[in-house]
Structure 1
Amino acid sequence: MAIAALGLAFVWGTLGILNLGHSVFFGLGAYAYAVATSNLGDSTPGLLIGIILPVAFSLVLGYFLFFSRLGDVYLGVITLCVTLIFYSFATSTADPSYHIGSVLLGGFNGITAIPPLNMPADPQTPLSVEATFSICLLTLAGIYILLSFLRASNAGRIMAAIRENELRSELLGYDIRFYKLVGFAVSAAVAGLAGALYTAVMGFVGPNVFDLPQASQFVLWVIAGGLGTFAGPTLASFGFQLLSSQLGANQIFNTELIFGATILLFVLLVPRGLLPMILSLADPKLPRRLSGLVRKEKPV
């Protein structure tokens, strides 16, 4: 989940693209891993397909979104509608005729008995739960480092310039549609990998990976942790999942109600997120250097 949150934090914080359908890429990666691994009996091609399929879909969707020059509001609405479409389709596949190879899609029941991760090219040696979680943690660290390097690279600086002023960036000779498409695809690749790992850990995947609560969680974690940072959404994802687990176990409050109220509180009271707020208490200039989201003030 934290890996998927990093994907949204990158495309939203670096390019300014609020993708309300980020769960689509997560869900496609989850279903792709489930179908490929169950049919092939090997998790290695399953992980690769779990990345390739979301990237391919993001390139098709992004082409129509960015090359038609849709505004931010329309982009958010369309990506949200795509989420609803995938959720509706996934819930309507209960009929046995909906299958890929020998794998039934299952509708609300989802796909069960999905093989776990195994040693590369050795399907006969499945990894333990502890080893799988270790791989997830190492993958999170690796994605964090790679996205940080990408954001600090020349391409990342161009993406930040596009976020700040699209017209000026285009007049300087940069193809803003191409950079948006690339950033969108990178975000999809990260989310797809996260979805594949999620399915490998859970051994199950269902339509809930596409639903609105799932989509809203990614947005919540980025807002709460701090837009423009990677550490903030990562820590927020861990914190809110722990909170969700505790609330669900004790059945004290409705979890979705708590999350909805939390989004409102953060937007109204802590719009910059927790991490930038904490850092600003120590050094008012530090959040600027970390996020790069605050525009320079014009001289008086």
Structure 2
Amino acid sequence: MTTDIAVQPRRAAKASQKRKLMIEAIAVIAIALILILIMPMLLTGFRLNLLGRFLALGIVALGIDLIWGFTGLLSLGHGIFFGLGGYAFAMYLELNTLGEGQLPEFFGLYGVTELPWFWQPFNSLPFTLLAIFTIPAIVAGLLGYLVFRNRIRGVYFSILTQAALVVFFNLFNGQQKLINGTNGLKTSTSVFMGQQVGSDGMRMFFYISTVIALIAMYALCRWLTSGRFGRMLVAIRDDENRVRFSGYDPTAFKVLVFAVSGAIAGIAGALYTVQSGIISPQVMDIAFSIEMVIWVAVGGRATLVGAVLGAVLVNMARSLLSERFPDVWLFFQGALFLIVVTALPDGIIGWGRRQFGSAVSSALGLTPTDVPYASDSDSVVEAVPEFAEK
């Protein structure tokens, strides 16, 4: 009898969890279909291209939310990984457009007569597709290992990531002979799959690819954060010392999640590059990396959905306001962030859950505990032992 009483709540919780996942999957598929089938009919080519860019930025926001919202690591240098992914794809496009034996045009301006060694692997499309996320992941993993093994965290971690960003920005900005420095690499006139990247057909192709990649990265982040691994990340965020005293080494977990976040940013950078038409060291500017954090804060930390929503809404608002108020639109952006920090600390999603969470969960047949608020999480005392269960 005692066993039945203990098992019944678990069964009910599992059934509710499955129902919630089913509802979430249906919602995600519905949104994807709207983006792919309906939005192209409602928007002009220019606006659709802008939406594609914003969705690509939503992908990098997912990576930020993964390490900041769930793990408590505030990175101010994600422009590094975003730029590495963009440069990897741009280098392939640059070489793919040329005839055999030809060099990119800017090489001739600086007297370079032979293709540099690090350009040569990007003649291969399979290598390029692999490099788009593996190179940022490796760089993030190495940087994370050097930082986390010394137990550096908090504001010191943020400062170090920003310092690394400055190093990469100056490195790429000064390599005029090798990667065209401040001018960057243009992709809009490059050829991919026999068509010009800037053509209407390829723009639609990359837009659909961005939607698919966004869904895939969302599914990956949801998988990582919904199981035992996710509970360990939350435990590290809430009390890393308690995790360490419980017999776990947080370093490996933090290095892994930082590498995954870097890989996600690399994919976002590649998709953004082909839709914006150029990649330059400006994507490694400090302000751009700080904006990424703002998107997540506006949407809601530790929600994933909020990260994407914040990225799309903030960039959409910036685009519209900069068109109508080109001189003062930055003040609107600053005011938005101040409003979120002071009045909506949990972001748009957190506010919506507080206002409508109970009604929505009741309508869907979910218990209140099934709605994961951004500011709520399992305690470390519960999270660590649960992770250790078989």
TM-score norm. by structure 2 comes to: 0.68
In the alignment, which residue of structure 1 is the partner of 2:172? 90
* Aligned-residue identity in percent: 29
**Corresponding residue for 1:66?**
148
Conservation of the 8 A alpha-carbon contact between 1:34 and 1:205: yes
Query: What is the CA deviation profile of residues 84-120 of structure 1, one whole-angstrom value per residue up to 9, with x for unaligned ones?
Result: 22222232233xxx31xxxxx22221111467685xx
**Alpha-carbon distance between aligned partners in 2 of 1:295 and 1:154, rounded to the nearest angstrom:** 13
| Residue 263 (structure 2) aligned to one of 183, 189, 194 | 189
- 1:282 aligned to which of 356, 364, 372: 356
CA–CA separation in structure 2 for the residues paired with 1:80 and 1:287: 38
Match of 1:157, SS?
A: helix
* Matched position secondary structure for 2:247: coil
Q: Quote how far apart the aligned CAs of 1:182 are.
A: 0.6
| Partner amino acid, structure 2, of 1:138 | I
- Say whether the 8 Å CA contact 2:346–2:375 is kept in structure 1: no
Q: 2:44: which partner in 1? A: none
Q: CA RMSD in A?
A: 2.3
How many Å apart are 1:14 and its aligned residue? 1.3
What displacement does 1:203 show? Answer: 2.8
| Residue 117 to residue 25, structure 1, CA distance change in 2 (3 Å) | farther
Distance 1:117-1:187 versus aligned 2 partners, 3 A rule: farther
Q: Which residue of 2 aligns with 1:102?
A: none
Give the structure 2 partner of residue 166 of structure 1: 240
Q: CA deviation at 1:6?
A: 0.5
**Relative to 1, partners in 2 of residues 1:193 and 1:54: Cα closer, same or farther, differing over 3 Å?**
same
Contact 1:47–1:196 under 8 Å retained in 2: no
SS in structure 2 of the partner of residue 15 of structure 1: coil
Counterpart residue identity of residue 63, structure 1? Y
- The 1:275–1:37 alpha-carbon spacing in structure 2 relative to 1, beyond 3 Å, is same
Report matched runs for 1:246-261 at 5 Å: 246-261=320-335
Q: CA deviation at 1:215?
A: 0.7
Which of 4, 14, 20 is the matching residue for 2:70? 14
CA offset digits 1:161-181 (Å, max 9, x no partner): 111111221122221000000
- Equivalent residue for 2:134, pick from 52, 59, 64: 52
- Kept after mapping to 2: 8 A contact 1:116/1:200: no
Confirm or deny: 8 A CA contact 2:300 2:374 kept in the other structure: no
The more displaced of 14-23 and 251-260 is: 251-260
Q: Is structure 2 residue 101 aligned with structure 1 residue 27?
A: no
Q: For 1:56 and 1:115, how far apart are their aligned partners in 2? A: 30
Q: Contact 1:37 / 1:115 at 8 angstroms: preserved in 2?
A: no
User: What per-residue deviation string (whole Å, max 9, x for no partner) do you get for residues 1-51 of structure 1?
Assistant: 110111101111111111011111111111122123423456543232111
2:94 to 38, 49, 62: 38
Q: 2:61 corresponds to which letter in structure 1?
A: A
SS in 2 for 1:169: helix
Match of 1:222 in 2: 296
Q: 1:286 to 1:233 in 2, by over 3 A?
A: farther
Output the CA distance in 1 between the equivalents of 2:374 and 2:352.
16
Question: In 2, Cα distance between the equivalents of 1:79 and 1:199?
Answer: 23
8 Å Cα contact 2:59-2:217 kept in structure 1: yes
In the other structure, the counterpart of 1:241 is: 315
Distance 1:150 1:245, change over 3 A: same
- Residues 224-263 of structure 1, C-alpha deviations (whole Å, 9 max, x = no match): 0001101111111111111111122224444444323322
Report the more deviating stretch, 251-260 or 183-192: 251-260
Q: Which has the larger radius of gyration?
A: 2
Q: Retained in 1: the 8 A contact 2:231–2:378?
A: no
Corresponding position of 1:140: 214
Corresponding pairs, count: 285
Alignment partners' CA distance in 1, 2:294 and 2:163: 18
In structure 1, the partner of 2:251 is: 177
- Cα 1:247–1:177, aligned 2, differ >3 Å: closer, same or farther? same
Residues 11 and 287 of structure 1: is their aligned pair in 2 closer, same or farther, counting only changes over 3 Å? farther
Supply the distance in 2 between the matched residues of 1:110 and 1:50 (Cα, whole angstroms).
Answer: 17
Partner of 1:294: 376
State the shift of 1:291 in Å: 4.1
Q: Distance in 1 between matches of 2:250 and 2:341?
A: 29
**Richer in helix (by share):** 2
1:41/1:215 Cα in 2 relative to 1: closer, same or farther (>3 Å)? Answer: same
SS at match of 2:302: coil
